[in-house]
Structure 1
């Protein structure tokens, strides 16, 4: 009888006990301490699927002809041994550094990677690149770039600090009468937390609020963005109209005397010119409920009634991250703060605003907020960076000027890309444009466990282990737990840890001591834990932690920390000013006014975009495509796993379509359909539902990019990756963030024989 063994691992979506037998997974069970475990753990079986990169591989034309030869994306790879692969990588890094300088290496390596604190791919590649003299990096995130730039201008604090300081949902459950959710509170997203999540609490806390009488209003084109058990009133607007809706609410508050002038006087600056704009004094157009209704497609009286209910209640305004991933996305987050200021409840228990309840599991979860162990970074000697969503712009336009947060910057000339722990052919927009831009550098190197589209579009692919094949620590500064991750399986094929790969390269480039400091995996884990333990004398020594397998912070009261956002500021704004130029909430920003941006005025405003249902483009492409986080995986991670694949429609990603839109196109439940615009086209499986506004369709992100003709820009994606359709334009000249949610398409039934999905079939390989 074979031996069975149980080890514990952690992911961004929870902690699991993994039972193995004969070096294979026998079962995956949720951690008993988790009250609301995520089913995503069942896709861990992808670790043994056909998509694994088994050995180092080099694109054939690059190997035979050198850097820049051939075309990425459609060629066969030649498998080589590790010494050959590392020699090639080290030699190419040295050539680019010598001939073009370290700024010619782009190693932003954006992506979620694994939940491990030591074996975190970006931390490893950034430390290595700094050790060899630096690299061009990226700033901000695809998820939140517009918010990350605008929020500090309005309230002074970094966006992440505002999010971590969000009013605890335990306080909301006790004090809040009404939660108005712009973009909903999608619980599927709250199942995920960057760095790991010991316990999922958001669902229970929201249910507690509802049980206590709190009412919910879901302002979203998708009804399921708020759980049915919360019994939310559903207002289904046109996408991208949220700023106009908030302005209409503001107009009712002001003209009916329901706002709080005393709060504006004491805690804000710039209210007068903003209120003049709302009333229409400057342009002759009052931003009233009728005006907002015409833009949003909602009823004007519904908006007036909602404004009155907000003023008569202890009201929390919540805004989804997705709303700022749109043209002029900065305005929505700025406006929700201003709307909360008009109500005068910022800093009161259960009132004010929150930027992302339900976006991830940390927002409002009441965690103790310990800074977690981490691999110490090395300083990057190169001061070269781009906003993360502008990678195609950078590759296509070296030396070109662009604006970013009040600066005039220039794109570097990139000759080598090194990517680890992410998948730009998932998270970037307009993939057909990226396919062409990706051909520009001399060399692309990827550390990757799976044959993702990014690996297929590389020149050198170095196979890495998955978290199940190594030891690590998992924890988030927004969670109450630190968990020991135990190696459950031996490395598959010739896979190596990222750390060991970079040690091999560091040795060849003469920086091994600087990068690795003479430590192996076990020594690093103990070192970073003991560094972390210096925060508190109450934490146990490393061996005691290893024996128990996890730490729980908060003195045994996980999730019960009471927070009220800006409570100290409200109590005494002179003693506790905000770190803005005025020390107060900036409704009008003189700093932004000085930037003189045509697409980002000095106060929140409605700016019509090029791609929404009120634009002329809708005459050609009459459906607004939304692309949200899938319920069956984290972005593109483990798309090849059983849980993700079980929820596809005829092997393709499911697109939500209203029956009215389906009937007009002869589409039935389960049909294969073609989504298209002038940027690209993809196939998907139709799923009909009345829980989406007519004229809007929704295709989740993360289906592995699978073009019918590999490596050819414009080729039909067979699998349902929406980013062949989305626009690759910055939110504005302020943040230059992703505007993926501003996307118009057409939809039709696909009557031809649908080509088979081959996303999970490795590329041709030779020895």
Structure 2
């Protein structure tokens, strides 16, 4: 019986902790989760593994010679264990020095990551509140997940997050839908997670319910595994990065065969007349026919025409994967997907329209009422400087350099100090060897973390933190019906502190403890956050239990909405009263605002543009790399844990390739492979399967970067191969999915994997 065990909530699920002699010995799946994720179990052995950081650390040269000393040795040099008192003084002195000498804009607090599902012990919120009290910092904008969409979709629909958070539910699709066409698939493995935490997983049940109701599925993806086999989906194994061309071929068929909905386009959209000459080829001499799309995508023109006709006669939901934004010109798939859905005239109808990534996370398509969970107030940042989230290396290499972003011309700040809390840029970022070189530029790097990730290894000062099992907190997600009272299950190592305590002590040392804490301790803050949430929920008609009742029971579930969620229903029912927040109040198929930016790489309507690397221009490197999300961890989190390690082969990441590509290179199942291009190389182990189309190689992200002296990752991190360039001048998002490589069998003695081994640590005598 596990119901009385302490509850903890994470991005990948809720669990009950079994504790023996003060130590967490097992996690048990939450009894109300019908499809629990195994990812969370991977933390149990990681809590006491050699990769755990249990005391403040300072890089040896930085300690001996001060800021800026031997920055080329980051990631190579030994660390020296210091006391918390020393670490606090060093960090406070360094913050003061940088502020006084270079200004607050010289501090970059990227802190992009998923450290905690808890509302209080949220590393980014704690750090940003502290730095705002201390004078400010340069921040990042948007996410690696879908930065191009965050910049583009507001120009087309007036908002991105609003419509992502109100995705048409699977209940609506099951009740009213007939066809789901998924560009990039609907990979249930991604639905194990959600940014605000997960009480119960819903995607698999949602897919099953739609399938059982007779809804048919089409998977447009290089991977057949991007849909679970139970759906019996039609697989269209398109070339990677050709989705916009396919959508244009579908749109051309709809238009030329009079299958589109001109009344919807007239009432709810603007700019179709400006887009149409491009679609028909009047402006560039190339009609975007199904035959043209077939040449680009290597699909059958007949299949494209047949799909267009089917979409027109059936209630159709178009799903566009978040992954499609992470390619060169990643703004275009969402824009063209919206345009295609508008031509069908089904936006705002039950079971039809468009969604931004079913199963991209657990909540997309779930039936829930948005929980207005309170957050730790971060205060006002006095520094009005930012960079697009994926432009870190550009910023470090080009202080003062100009860059374009969403209609603005901005300049990169001159960064002297980086502070990272709750994330791992050596997972998310592209071209890691370039990042490592750029990482040498700042004088000081501070990292809050609980384990020796590649980022922690490349710090100058490390402040060791607790895990979610070692503190009380609250999970109150905007997109999950559960509220979880997270109970501390075990004490952390003596040398670890939670982020709030770290920043509180720093604030006290620097003279603004009261401003940082607001005169409240952890217990006060938790109660304040819950009371604020309860008040806001009541105003929305959501009743939450009182504080003591929640603590006694441990969890609360809000009921689903009475009627199934349908995205943009209100706009469809009354486009004047519920106009979109665009200049026209309508869907902007052609957007004058974007057109007036004058970007050659992002014109005023959705457009097919050849990526810088794809199978259509392959030469020396003839294989397209798909570096998708892993199934056994969240990004790089818990890669050192038992669940992730079980998914490796001889300690390295699996590499999926088609039998034809394997035979051409004399590769067999289980061979150690070297994946390479002009940017770098990594190792992985061959898995040969016809579930991936020819010309494509797949390796998941998330393996901790483990470079040898030549920069080859021995462990299997594909971001040594991906190019670090923005999606376009508009969004400047990451472009990992436009990447060409070659693969060969590795010759010689396989090098050992060192990713989970701690660096050399020196302890002071006496």
TM-score strictly above 0.5: yes
- Deviation of residue 536 (structure 1)? 4.0
Counterpart in 2 of 1:182?
Answer: 183
CA RMSD of aligned residues (A): 1.2
Q: Is the 8 A contact 2:59 2:461 kept in 1?
A: yes
Counterpart in 2 of 1:385?
Answer: 386
- Deviation of residue 5 (structure 1)? 8.4
- Distance in 2 between residues matched to 1:303 and 1:32, nearest whole Å: 45
Look up the SS of the partner of 1:570 in the other structure.
helix
Counterpart in 1 of 2:137?
Answer: 135
Counterpart in 1 of 2:604?
Answer: 602
Q: Is the 8 A contact 2:682 2:714 kept in 1?
A: yes
Matches within 5 A, 1:439-518: 439-518=440-519
Counterpart in 2 of 1:547?
Answer: 552
What do residues 663-709 of structure 1 show as CA deviations (whole Å, max 9, x unaligned)? 11111111110000000000011111110011001111110000113
Matches within 5 A, 1:142-541: 142-157=144-159, 159-537=160-538, 538-541=543-546
Q: TM-score by structure 1 length?
A: 0.97
Look up the SS of the partner of 1:717 in the other structure.
coil
Counterpart in 1 of 2:634?
Answer: 634
Look up the SS of the partner of 1:598 in the other structure.
coil
- Distance in 2 between residues matched to 1:443 and 1:624, nearest whole Å: 37
Q: Is the 8 A contact 2:371 2:537 kept in 1?
A: no
Counterpart in 2 of 1:10?
Answer: 9
Counterpart in 1 of 2:755?
Answer: 759
- Distance in 2 between residues matched to 1:78 and 1:6, nearest whole Å: 38
Look up the SS of the partner of 1:409 in the other structure.
strand
Change (3 A) 1:177 1:438: same
What do residues 636-666 of structure 1 show as CA deviations (whole Å, max 9, x unaligned)? 0000000000010110011111111111111
Counterpart in 1 of 2:622?
Answer: 622
What do residues 51-88 of structure 1 show as CA deviations (whole Å, max 9, x unaligned)? 00111000000000100111211100000111011100
Q: Does 1:72 align with 2:74?
A: yes
Counterpart in 2 of 1:647?
Answer: 647
Q: Is the 8 A contact 2:167 2:566 kept in 1?
A: yes
- Distance in 2 between residues matched to 1:560 and 1:125, nearest whole Å: 40
Q: Is the 8 A contact 1:107 1:136 kept in 2?
A: yes
Q: Is the 8 A contact 2:421 2:448 kept in 1?
A: yes
Q: Is the 8 A contact 2:371 2:476 kept in 1?
A: no
Counterpart in 2 of 1:742?
Answer: 738
Q: Does 1:88 align with 2:84?
A: no
- Distance in 2 between residues matched to 1:727 and 1:561, nearest whole Å: 45
- Distance in 2 between residues matched to 1:389 and 1:699, nearest whole Å: 21
Look up the SS of the partner of 2:150 in the other structure.
helix
Q: Does 1:717 align with 2:713?
A: yes
Matches within 5 A, 1:27-46: 27-45=26-44, 46=46
Q: Is the 8 A contact 1:252 1:307 kept in 2?
A: yes
Look up the SS of the partner of 2:331 in the other structure.
helix
Look up the SS of the partner of 1:381 in the other structure.
coil
- Distance in 2 between residues matched to 1:347 and 1:341, nearest whole Å: 10
- Deviation of residue 457 (structure 1)? 0.3
- Deviation of residue 604 (structure 1)? 0.2
What do residues 380-429 of structure 1 show as CA deviations (whole Å, max 9, x unaligned)? 11101000000000000000001000000000000000100000011000
Q: Is the 8 A contact 1:36 1:200 kept in 2?
A: yes
What do residues 718-751 of structure 1 show as CA deviations (whole Å, max 9, x unaligned)? 0000000001000000000001100000000112
Q: Is the 8 A contact 2:372 2:537 kept in 1?
A: no
- Deviation of residue 24 (structure 1)? 2.2
- Distance in 2 between residues matched to 1:74 and 1:291, nearest whole Å: 52
- Distance in 1 between residues matched to 2:118 and 2:632, nearest whole Å: 21
- Distance in 2 between residues matched to 1:131 and 1:721, nearest whole Å: 37
Unpaired segments ≥5 residues, structure 2: none
- Distance in 2 between residues matched to 1:321 and 1:162, nearest whole Å: 14
Look up the SS of the partner of 1:544 in the other structure.
helix
- Deviation of residue 339 (structure 1)? 0.2
- Deviation of residue 462 (structure 1)? 0.7
Look up the SS of the partner of 1:389 in the other structure.
coil
Counterpart in 2 of 1:125?
Answer: 127
Matches within 5 A, 1:680-719: 680-709=680-709, 714-719=710-715
- Distance in 2 between residues matched to 1:27 and 1:54, nearest whole Å: 21
Greater shift in the superposed pair: 446-455 or 512-521:
512-521
- Distance in 2 between residues matched to 1:693 and 1:539, nearest whole Å: 50
Q: Is the 8 A contact 1:5 1:20 kept in 2?
A: no
Counterpart in 2 of 1:579?
Answer: 581
- Distance in 1 between residues matched to 2:490 and 2:264, nearest whole Å: 59
What do residues 448-482 of structure 1 show as CA deviations (whole Å, max 9, x unaligned)? 00000000000000110011111111131001011
Q: Is the 8 A contact 1:4 1:22 kept in 2?
A: no
- Distance in 1 between residues matched to 2:733 and 2:377, nearest whole Å: 28
Greater shift in the superposed pair: 268-277 or 731-740:
268-277
- Deviation of residue 379 (structure 1)? 1.0
- Deviation of residue 561 (structure 1)? 5.2
- Deviation of residue 541 (structure 1)? 2.2
Q: TM-score by structure 2 length?
A: 0.97
- Distance in 1 between residues matched to 2:87 and 2:177, nearest whole Å: 59
- Deviation of residue 25 (structure 1)? 2.5
What do residues 597-627 of structure 1 show as CA deviations (whole Å, max 9, x unaligned)? 0100100010001100001xx1100000011
- Deviation of residue 319 (structure 1)? 0.5
Counterpart in 2 of 1:116?
Answer: 118
- Distance in 2 between residues matched to 1:129 and 1:476, nearest whole Å: 25
Look up the SS of the partner of 2:475 in the other structure.
strand
Counterpart in 1 of 2:659?
Answer: 659
What do residues 513-563 of structure 1 show as CA deviations (whole Å, max 9, x unaligned)? 000122221121111111212124532221221111112112xxx476521
Q: Is the 8 A contact 2:202 2:363 kept in 1?
A: no
- Distance in 2 between residues matched to 1:95 and 1:469, nearest whole Å: 34
Q: Does 1:62 align with 2:32?
A: no
What do residues 215-270 of structure 1 show as CA deviations (whole Å, max 9, x unaligned)? 00000000010110011000001100000000000010001111111111111111
- Deviation of residue 4 (structure 1)? 13
Look up the SS of the partner of 1:35 in the other structure.
coil
- Deviation of residue 716 (structure 1)? 1.1
Q: Does 1:732 align with 2:728?
A: yes
- Distance in 1 between residues matched to 2:374 and 2:275, nearest whole Å: 45
Q: Is the 8 A contact 1:398 1:412 kept in 2?
A: yes
- Distance in 2 between residues matched to 1:243 and 1:50, nearest whole Å: 47
- Deviation of residue 6 (structure 1)? 2.7
Q: Does 1:669 align with 2:665?
A: no
- Distance in 1 between residues matched to 2:4 and 2:444, nearest whole Å: 43
Change (3 A) 1:216 1:290: same
- Distance in 2 between residues matched to 1:676 and 1:513, nearest whole Å: 53
- Deviation of residue 756 (structure 1)? 0.6
